Amino acid sequence: MKAVAAERRRFGYRRIHVMLERQGIVMNLKKLRRLYREERLQMRAAEVVDIVDHGQVD
């Protein structure tokens, strides 16, 4: 799982689950999600960008 996650940095646990199944590794999705979280492989949340009002009048 770590190797697939390192190779595909933008993949979440669902896509990693599919990749592992294609490689012949069968794992319960709940177990995979727990291990994914424990190994801190989660993607970082996107930064929130503030929209600035540049003095436009409605």
User: What DSSP letter does each residue of 8-50 carry, written as one string?
Assistant: -TT--HHHHHHHHHHTT----HHHHHHHHHHTT-PPPPPPP-P
Q: Is the pLDDT of residue 47 over 80?
A: no
Q: Who wins on pLDDT, 46 or 24?
A: 24
Instruction: Show me where the domains of the chain are located.
Output: 2-38
Q: 41 near 2, Cβ under 8 Å?
A: yes
Q: What is the pLDDT of residues 5-31, one digit of tens each?
A: 777 677 788 888 898 899 998 989 899
- Helix, coil or strand: residue 56: coil
Answer whether 0.75 is exceeded by the pTM.
no
